[in-house]
Amino acid sequence: MLSSKEFWTKKTLVGLGLGQFLSLLITSTGFSSSELARRGINVPTSQSFLNYVLLAIVYGITMILRKRALKAKWYYYVVLALVDVEANFLVVKAYQYTSITSVMLLDCFTIPCVIIFTRFFLKTKYRIKKLTGASICIAGIVIVIFSDVHASDRAGGNSPLKGDLLVIAGSILYAVSNVSEEFLVKSADRVELMALLGSFGAIVSAIQISILERNELKSIRWSAGAALPFVGFSAAMFMFYSLVPVLLKLSGSAMLNLSLLTSDMWAVFIRIFAYHQKVDWMYFIAFAAVVIGLVIYSGGDKDDEQHTADVADEDAERSRHFDEEAGPGNSNQSSMAGGSRIGDSNKDDSAPKKGSH
């Protein structure tokens, strides 16, 4: 049995707190998107475009000032940007064809995908405690999805099968994006990741906007009421993307996706306290289940210290491999860069991916 001191470690508390802050950011983006939709503005790729531009500017300038060679090949980031942009697009697009119940349920498919991908590609070892915590989190979401709160929504959209397939495809791409970011942030560099993801994401988004959303943008009548949600969405997404690598480095991609399950619950609390709306009691049971699952998943583990050291060694080996690929002369630069990478100053921060910290 773990003592309270062993369970509530600094790493556990930081992981839980950061995960819930990211969940609140996602909740705020949902409210911004809802306000835009209420005004008849449906340009999901354009909304994401502003976020990518901010990432490219802020982290791109930082990367230029540091004058360091890339630790990973540039085309890795091209593929990641393409996957990330399309994942966002597919899930938002699904709302046009299927019900919100289906989207919420099928979006959870990201979690088992992340667990599978990290197990096979990042060699993450998931103990029974981790799998139990993840299962409780998912069970909490299933409870609320099948509650009477969504009874009127079960009829579905005008093409449920098409919408469901879009969500499943988007969930798989989200998993690929999350696991790829986890690999790159642990093996390469956080600033490099954000700068190139932002740059290539902006390029991919711009191309897609010119093809799919050009006419929609022209028809928008811009006003303060329309611009503020747009800006708010971009600001929240910029903070979200900036902090995601920190949680990925600390706790892994499974913890990230489990934490985001509470975003729907935070939205409910906002509806209760800000809009004085009544909600079904099942939401509170679901929220409690997700919180309990997160605590179980992220709590201390007797073997974590040794496993953390093993993963730190693996990350260091991958980082050296990237340095060698970048070419001779980069090793000195990378050793100087080590202090700026998340977790390099503390091996505990290089902890296993999502399921094994």
Q: Domain map of the chain by residue range? A: 14-311
> So what's the pLDDT on residue 24?
92
Q: 250, 343 in Cβ contact below 8 A?
A: yes
Q: Which residue has the tokens 């979006």?
A: 107
Compute the CA torsion angle 341, 346, 347, 351 (nearest 10 deg).
-70
Give the CA distances from residue 168 to residues 140, 177, 298, in Å, rounded to whole numbers and listed in that order.
Answer: 20, 14, 26
Q: Where are the alpha helices (DSSP H) in the chain?
A: 4-7, 10-38, 44-66, 74-94, 100-107, 110-121, 128-145, 160-187, 190-212, 214-219, 224-251, 253-259, 263-275, 282-298, 304-326, 330-337
CA neighbor of 356 nearest in space, from 238, 246, 226, 253:
253
Q: How many CB atoms lie within 10 A of CB 296?
A: 18
> So what's the pLDDT on residue 239?
96
- For residue 70, report the phi and psi dihedrals to the nearest 5 degrees: -65, 140
Q: 257, 138 in Cβ contact below 8 A?
A: no
Give the CA distances from residue 55 to residues 51, 82, 86, 356, in Å, rounded to whole numbers and listed in that order.
Answer: 6, 15, 17, 29
> So what's the pLDDT on residue 145?
64
> So what's the pLDDT on residue 326?
53
Q: Which residue has the tokens 């590609």?
A: 121
Task: List, for the chain, all residue ranges whose pLDDT scores fall below the cut of 50.
Answer: 148-151, 153-155, 302-312, 328-357
> So what's the pLDDT on residue 218?
87
Q: 163, 102 in Cβ contact below 8 A?
A: yes
Q: 57, 254 in Cβ contact below 8 A?
A: no
> So what's the pLDDT on residue 177?
94
Q: What is the pLDDT of residues 207-253, one digit of tens each?
A: 999 998 988 888 888 888 888 988 999 999 999 999 999 999 888 88
Q: 230, 36 in Cβ contact below 8 A?
A: yes
CA neighbor of 350 nearest in space, from 257, 246, 222:
246
> So what's the pLDDT on residue 252?
85
Range 18-54 burial, b when 16+ CB lie within 10 A, else e: bbbebbbbbbbbbbbbebbeeeebbbbbbbbbbbbbb
- In terms of C-beta density within 10 A (0-12 exposed, 13-18 middle, 19 or more buried), how is residue 258 classed? buried
Residue 303 carries which DSSP code?
Answer: T
Query: Which residues, in sequence order, are CB contacts of 170 under 8 Å at separation 6+?
Result: 86, 87, 88, 89, 90, 91, 94, 107
- Dist CA 332 CA 298 (whole Å): 36
Residue positions counted in the chain: 357
> So what's the pLDDT on residue 6?
54
Query: Which residues, in sequence order, are CB contacts of 10 under 8 Å at separation 6+?
Result: none
Q: How many CB atoms lie within 10 A of CB 349?
A: 20
